[in-house]
Chains A and B, each alone.
Chain A
Amino acid sequence: MPADPFFAVAGLAKHFGGIHAVEDLSFTLARGEILGLIGPNGSGKTTTINIVTGALKPDAGSISVEGSDMAGQAAHLFARRGVARTFQVPRLFRRMTVMENLIVPALSDASERRPSAEERARGVLAFLKLEHLADDYARALSGGQQKLLELGRALMLKPSLLLLDEPFAGVHPKLLEQIIEHIRTLNRDGHTIVLVDHNLDAVQSIVSRVLVMARGRKIADGAVAEVLQNPEVVRAYTGSRAGAQ
């Protein structure tokens, strides 16, 4: 564990009635690190993302961003602090243009003016190769383009931590390569990233460390090769009988 982690979660818990969606979850991230957060369906990955971005309030635990505890704070405060996210199913401002989608997060910072926000947005569009769509309505984009636009919207927050929830789900293989390359580039540029996805091949191709969750708990955390050999992880993915064999 880094001595002074950039991002740290400790003892995080979230219950929905009798369901323990997240239980006693702790992990840290060093600045510039990229972490794969994996686990079978219903293991608590998205709930974790929702908690550490302020969309859900935790029942217990702390969330430290650069030393300040932000647990329970509103989502917009996390965003303003540079904790940006994408959603499993893109949640764009559908009846707004691509450009408008991008400048909304930029202008949420009162000190940023519209011309500079638009200039930054054009840069993001160039990075994502979506320049030609700037004036199109977000609802007119293809599924893959919507994923890219959502990534762009998160980048407009000048994030220090990016949480990407299933960026590869339902994406055409050609676009998948493009998204993988974008994530690599962002990480090379110093962005700290948490990547949640079921596509283990894609995740492994990007990250060196994975955290595995099952039934709301952390069951493994470490180097990809080691973790994927972990019997508990194998059991979680293949079922107890297969794991026992």
Chain B
Amino acid sequence: MGSLSFSRAVQAVLLAVALLLPLAAGPYWIHVGAIAWYYAMLAASWALLAGFAGQFSFAHVAFAALGGYASALGVGLLGLPVGVSMLLAIVLAIVTGALIGALVLRLSGPYLALFTLAISEIFRLILVAEEDLTRGMLGLPVPGLFSGQSDVPYYYLGLGLVVMAMLAMNWLLSTRVGLFLRAIREDEGAARASGIDTTRYKILVFVVTAVIAAIAGIYYGHFIGILTPNIAILPEMGLVIAMAVIGGIESLPGAVIGAVVVFLLSESLRAYGEWRFVLMGLALILVQRFAQNGLYPMIEQWSRARAKPRAAATVEDRHAG
């Protein structure tokens, strides 16, 4: 079995498990699962931005906060219908993503990381300071999307959003744009000399990933029912990066699996208090040391290595026959 079919088979099985989980799991784990989809969207879109396009942005959770707050304020402050408010938040993410994408065009590596970190912190501090608008650390109430107390509708909505985001990002990567983004990641100067308008594609990837992060934030806000500026703190960004890196920064399914596994693990280890974060840090170090591309690509490689001798044996059998 080739790596691609292995990957598809794994994704199909995991999707089936995710679809059936609410039938077997209790309300707590359904709630945890619904939050995991928020992180899955963030980790996968960050993997597209950093792993495929080479743009190490630390402003990703700020886009989630932007989406969540914009949608909440649209409903609460402007009195807009929820759907319109969500669309407005997405448009805002498109504009902001394009602006930040244009601002950081000439930056790369640590400079890009620091610049986007500063942008993210400025945005978070505005959320803290503008109490009249955002209620600061008290938290901004966000209306729910479904009636009733069950988290199941949110769980399936989150899962649906993850699937749609994955389909959209996979489609993008399968087009020439995906090829150009990887070329830009490898060598921007050489990409320009190859005729690629790198400005255009760098802004495009910022916009696409900002929109997915904003959608994640909109979903999270309406699900949890309250938003605080803590949604955009640096440890949250660190968590998203850890999820993507552990799962596989250059693999969209890897980032999703990384997000779900890391989040479920951190919830399972709640009894250990702060020690669970030490364990997470250790896991990150071990993955970086022994599986630099992340766990999912490592498993894919292992399946490929296993498939090769089997394929060779089949050929030998055929010759023998």
Contacts and interface: CB of A to CB of B under 8 A. Distances in A.
Contacts of B186: 92-96
Contacts of B109: none
A79 B194 contact: yes
A80 interface: yes
B198 interface: yes
A100 to B, nearest CB: 6
Contacts of B195: 76, 79-80, 105, 108-109, 157
A35 interface: no
How big is the A interface, by class? 20 to 34
Contact of A93 (B183, B192, B197): B183
B189 A91 contact: yes
Interface residues of B, number: 18
Consensus secondary structure, chain B interface:
helix
A95 B182 contact: yes
Given A95-B182, A96-B182, A53 B193 contact: yes
B176 interface: yes
A107 B179 contact: yes
Interface in B175-212: 176, 179-180, 182-183, 186-187, 189-199
A80 B197 CA distance: 10
B180 A76 contact: no
Instruction: Name the residue in A53, A55, A76, A95 with the highest tally of chain B Cβ atoms < 10 Å from its Cβ.
Output: A76
B183 A74 contact: no
Interface in A67-106: 74-76, 79-80, 84-85, 87, 91-96, 100, 103-105
Interface of B: 176, 179-180, 182-183, 186-187, 189-199
Interface of A: 53-55, 74-76, 79-80, 84-85, 87, 91-96, 100, 103-105, 107-109, 114, 153, 156-157
